[in-house]
Every structure is written in C-alpha cells, then in structure tokens.
Amino acid sequence: MRSFTLVRDRLPTYALMTVPMNGPYQSQIWRGATSAARFLGVRLVAYVGNYFYKAEKNLNRPDLSDNGSPLFQLAGATDIDGYLPVVGSLGNFDGTDMIQRFLDQLPPKPIVCLGVALPGRISVVPSGSGIDKAVDHLVQVHGCRDIFYIGGTPHNFDAQYRLANFKQAMRENGLEPNAEDILVGDFSSETAEQLVEGLLDQGRIPQAIVCANDSTAIGAATILQRRGYRVPEDVILTGFDDSDEAKSMKPSLTTVAASAYQIAFRSMELLHDQHLGKIVQSETLPTQFIVRRSCGCRAVGSSVLLANPLGLPQIPDLSRFASSASSPPEALAFQERIEKVFDHASDMELDLWEEKIVVASRQATAPDISRYLLEVLPALNAVRQGHQISETMSLQRQMSGQFQAIRSIMSDLSQEGFVQRLLTGLRSNVNSQMRILLFRKDLEPEPHPKFEPGKFQLELDVESGYIGPPRDPSLPHQVVQEVWCVLPLILGDDTFGVLQIREWTAHEMLLEGLRQTLTFVLSAAHNAYHEAQVREEFKRLAIRDQMTGLLNRRGLLEQGELLGKLALRDQNVLGIAMFDLDGLKEINDRFGHKDGDLAIQLLGQSLVDGFRQVDVIGRLGGDEFAVVAKMTKEGSLDGALARVRQSLTQRSIQLDRLWQARTSGGWILWDPKEGTDLDLALSLADKNLYKDKQERKSRRKSP
C-alpha cells in the first residue's frame, strides 16, 4: 500500500479521467462526480481524453482516430490530490493493462477506480451484471426462447462480464446460447444498427435481443422500426445503464440500472476520505432491473434505487403517513405541503419522491388517502416537465451561441488578428469561463506532443480577454471550489493544445461538440494560412525566373509599371537598362549548355551586384536581362554598367572556367509623363544595347 502526503494548505483537487461524454454512461459518471464535488466542497478537474489503445490497432472508427489518452499526462504534472479513472471506458478497446501501467506512473496519490476493479486498488463497482435478471424476465415472464445478444468490445471488462452473465443465465433457464446468436458490438448505437441490419438482411428475426448497454439497444430499435418491425410486438429489446435516452425512447426501454451516477458519487467520497487520511475499502453498489414498455410490460419500477447514499435531503417516510392518516383534510394539507417542495427539487429528488409516493399509495389503509397521494404525481410530473423544457431551451441557446461564435470566427481565417477574433467570438457567444492553451504561437499543430505545462506557448483566456504566455499552464491555483473540464484539441495526428472550461452548466454532450468545433476552426485557420502561403509562393513562382531567382518578364513588367506610376506621381524619371551575354552561342557550342546556363546565372548575380536593392531586375528570356532603376533627369547608368562588368569579370575568374563571361549593355532615361509605356522604353534601351554590342565587337576585331 502506498503512503500519501496530506496537503492542507489549499483546497483538495481531484482528477476524473474519462472519455468523451457523448454517451449515457459517461454522462451519468460526469453528473455523479460533479454533484459529489459540490457536495463535498472540493475542486474537480475532468480530463476528458480518449480510450487507451495501441497505436497500431486498426479500430475502423473515425471518431477514435484522435488518440487523446496522452492528455492524462497533465493529471500527473499538476497539483492533483487524487485520481478517479473510469476504468471500463478508458480500457474499452484494449483492456486494463495499459491503464494499470499508466496509474503506476502517476505520483503517489489516492486512487479510486470507477466501474471496474484493478488489482491492489480501491474501487467502486456494481454488485453484479444484471443481465441475468433481463434473461430471467424474458424467459419466465414472456416465454422467449429465441434470444440474441449484442455485446461490447471483446477486451472490455464489462463486456466480458455481461456476456458471461448472459450465457450463464441462458443455461440456468434451460437454453443453450448459440455462437451465431451472439454479436460483437462496441457499445455504440452506430455499430448496433449495422449488426441488426445484417440480421434482418439474412432473414433472422429473433424474439428478443438483449443488449450490453442502452446505446446498443437504441441503435437496434432504430433499425428495427426503420425496417417496419415493432418493438415489443415483433422483437423485444432490453438494455443496460438506465440512461435518460432509455426513459425517453419510444417505447421506453426495459433496462438494468447499474448505478453509474451513484458509483461516481461514492467514488468521490472515498477518494476524499483517503485524502483526509481515513482508511477506506472497495465497495459494490446494487444494480436494479427496470421494467418498461420495450419488453411488453407496463412500467412498474423507477430507475432510481431507494437507497440514498448521495447526501440528498431525506424524504419523509410516506408509508407511515399512508397507514396512519385518517381524514381527507389531513391528506390534502400534506398534498399542498409536498407540492411546494417539488418546486425546488432536482430530478434525482423527484425520482425518489415518485418512488416513495407510489409505494405509499399501495400501502394506504384508506382509499381516499391513496387517491390524494396519487394526485400529487401530476404536480411532480409538471415540475419534471418544466425541468426538461428549461434544459431544452438552455441547450438550444447554447447551440445557437456556439453556432454564432463559429460563424463569426470562420468568416475570416486570415492569420493576422485571428487569435483576437477567436477570443472575441467565443467571449460574446459561448460560456466565457474557458481558456485555450496552444502548443505553438503560430497555431502550427504538434504531431505527437507531450502534455506538460511547460510545453504550451500561448494562452487565450476568454473570460478576462488575456492573450499571451501561459500564466498558470496547468490550472489556475485559486482557493475556491470549482469544477473544470480539460479536453484535447486534436484532429488526426495534429494536436493544437487543450481547451479548459470552468463550471460548465450546459448539457455535457455539448462539451465534445465544442471541442471538435474549436479543433476544426484551428485546423481551418492553419490550413487557410498555409493555403495563403502556397498562393503567395505560386504568385512568386509566376513572376520569378527559376534559373536566376530574378523576376521573369511578367514580374519585371508588373513591378516596373508600378515604379512608373510612382515616378509619374513624384515627377521623376527612371533608367531603363538592357543587358545580354557576349558569345553565349560559342560557350554553348564549345563547352555545353550547362556552362551556358552558368554564364547566364553569373550575369544575373552581377546585375544584383551592380544595382541597388530598390531597382527592379529581371530576366526577359535567354540571355536578355533588363533593369528599371529610380533616377533623376541628370543621372546616368554608366557607373552601374561598369560595376556589372567588373563583377562579371571577377565572378568568371573565381569560377575558373576555360571561358570568360562578358556583357553588352545599353540604357535610356524614361519619363512616364511623356506617354510612352515600359515596353517601348525597353525597346529603345535594347537599341542602345545593340549599339554597344556592335562597338564592343568592332573593338575586339580591330588590330
């Protein structure tokens, strides 16, 4: 057993390590953990990474292409006082060995494993699979004999346990499970749809399908109903998890409540007890079989366990009241009193009230008392409906805000000012209690970075408007009770940084949507910047001569015309010079075209030596070059021609070839206000070049 160091000078901070909260199980874990953190008065940081799986594993799932499990490195690199790994989810595709090794590398702090026990560690797990209760019900109540099963991923502990429980329950009911009737899923509704579609295409219509979780059952129901099969009349369905979707599905889903909310809540309590130095032990929480319409029964049970380990306000013993109340006025007064309580109750408390009201109404000794108790239920349902409407409206507002923010940001993805536009868009339309930490100031992604505080270069604090170096790269060290979410900004092999959100109040599934959206925005901005660079490079190549690196004819004309407009505005003139090589044909014929090209390059370099940086120099083609230079009316380019020839001679000598490059040149003064264009000016300069060439040739021939 490892020893832990108790830190008392700051608020305890615990790390929940889980996968994206886009499924019912993860949502219940999130809600249970955050409720417990607020109840206990501690800080919670939810590191929402991804599944642990080997890099070479081919999962065939686009949504799993971003292996964000390295994000959990942050949990070990900051002031965290204890860890809550959601073991079943993290090890969904490759088992628990990688998780065990990772936990061994963390600093020696308390750890409580959620959902699946790991050797030598404290854990909170369900007391049993509960799948056996579903099989018992289908066989003994509905007389089913042809029962199929859709499981989870083979390496997942829960999937293995539930499958074994299914097989055992089938045998105990006198049925031998057939291998072809057991389908391997991955706990997702999408895979379940494909599997059931395959069954129907083969003409295999089972009496009942037992599913390893609610998402699988929802996917199965979707395809069955799309293909014209009725649930439960044609095919009975059962699930596992008792998610919100299970309650709202049409028909409502018969399922097993595995206490995910309670498991997360109790795990937080045990972790906090360890931090305070108390001795704790692993615990199991009961599962409950919930009968609803998808098996053909009337709903006879609530999805909430009657045990109240969550610290919720204690609800009165209604059974005692039901058996002792003797008059309708007394019942009416009670009815009015508890209806006022509903106005301030959470959904969890409403479920507890509903369960106890139904039980008490059955135990009432007087019919009037039973009736008055049951008449409370419409008020309870009205409050619950109000909660649902409020949550739906809040969800719509959040989605609309995110859409507006992303639309404003996407309207301009140019590099200049993008970070400020990103901050402004988020600040005005999205939950402002967030910040973004990026690995690179220039938005360049990192392929496989280490998630360590010192690796980040840029912070965007949406709440304060701060943009600059990370001030507290892990989490703000504030002595205040908070709930944080930390999500990786990863797309494929590109990692941009992390998104940190404080006190998230919207639906938890929006977190994953926001993460993906921001990642796509950063990727789009990065791609737009590189596309702009590519366009600039294409433009540069379009006006550049590949052999010399100077402007080509198009580039020289474009920039020369621009100088002409400036000269016209400033009442100046320009010098137009033309150059070519003397004896290029002889060099090509005697020494080859490689040497000829080399001579052309030498002339281009010599022109750069002889003229100024502000002058426009270009290669018109072959061995012809032109220069457009700023000048005065009294100026001359003779000095520039001399410098070019001197440089060309020196470069030829340094090259140490059997030939020497020489050049002829001619120039004119061009006054744009006279109405002549650059093409005409180049032609006039070319005539002077020809004169110079003839004179130089004559001098070389004379004795």
pLDDT, tens digit (0-9, with 9 covering 90-100), for 262-277: 899 999 999 999 999 9
In this predicted structure, the answer to whether residue 351 has a pLDDT above a threshold of 90 is no
Closest among 242, 241, 34, 51 to 158, alpha carbons compared: 241
Lowest mean pLDDT among 289-293, 375-379, 553-557, 686-690: 375-379
Cα angle 603, 605, 609 (rounded to 5 degrees) comes to 110
In the CATH hierarchy, which fold is given to the domain comprising 553-701?
Alpha-Beta Plaits (3.30.70)
Q: Parallel, antiparallel, or unpaired: how do β-strands 494-502 and 573-582 relate?
A: unpaired
Q: Which pLDDT belongs to residue 304?
A: 36
In this predicted structure, the answer to whether residue 473 has a pLDDT above a threshold of 50 is yes
Q: In sequence order, which residues have a C-beta less than 8 Å from that of residue 186 and are 6 or more positions away?
A: 61, 92, 93, 152, 153
How far is Cα of residue 678 from the mean position of the Cα atoms in its chain? 55
Q: Which pLDDT belongs to residue 313?
A: 38
Residue 601 or 62, more confident: 601
Q: What is the mean pLDDT of the chain?
A: 82
Residue 537: enclosing H or E segment and its boundaries?
helix 509-542
Lowest mean pLDDT among 287-291, 305-309, 319-323, 403-407: 305-309
Number of neighbouring beta carbons within 10 Å of residue 260: 26
When pLDDT is cut at 50, 70 and 90, the band that residue 309 belongs to is: very low
Q: Which pLDDT belongs to residue 305?
A: 37
Q: In sequence order, which residues have a C-beta less than 8 Å from that of residue 541 and are 6 or more positions away?
A: none
Class of domain 412-539: alpha beta
Q: Which pLDDT belongs to residue 690?
A: 94
Within a 13 Å sphere around the CA of 560, how many CA atoms are in the beta-carbon half?
29
Q: Which pLDDT belongs to residue 86?
A: 92
In this predicted structure, the answer to whether residue 1 has a pLDDT above a threshold of 50 is no
162 in Cβ contact with 129 (< 8 Å): yes
Per-residue model confidence as pLDDT tens digits over 509-521: 777 878 888 888 8
Q: Which of 195-204, 413-422, 458-467 has the highest mean pLDDT?
A: 195-204
Query: From edge to edge, which strands make up the β-sheet containing 662-670?
Result: 616-621, 624-631, 573-582, 662-670
Q: Which of 95-99, 419-423, 540-544, 570-574 has the highest mean pLDDT?
A: 570-574
In this predicted structure, the answer to whether residue 381 has a pLDDT above a threshold of 80 is no
Q: What is the mean pLDDT of residues 627-656?
A: 92
Q: Which of 8-22, 43-57, 144-158 has the highest mean pLDDT?
A: 144-158
Lowest mean pLDDT among 208-217, 376-385, 613-622: 376-385
Q: State how far the alpha carbon of 10 is from the alpha carbons of 81, 379, 477, 479, 481, in Å.
A: 10, 44, 9, 6, 11
Q: Which pLDDT belongs to residue 24?
A: 76
Q: Rg for the chain (alpha carbons), in Å?
A: 39
Q: Where are the domains of the chain?
A: 412-539, 553-701
Q: Which pLDDT belongs to residue 246?
A: 82
Per-residue model confidence as pLDDT tens digits over 329-347: 555 566 566 666 666 666 6
When pLDDT is cut at 50, 70 and 90, the band that residue 171 belongs to is: very high
> What is the C-alpha to C-alpha distance for residues 461 and 435, in angstroms, rounded to an integer?
4
In this predicted structure, the answer to whether residue 16 has a pLDDT above a threshold of 50 is yes
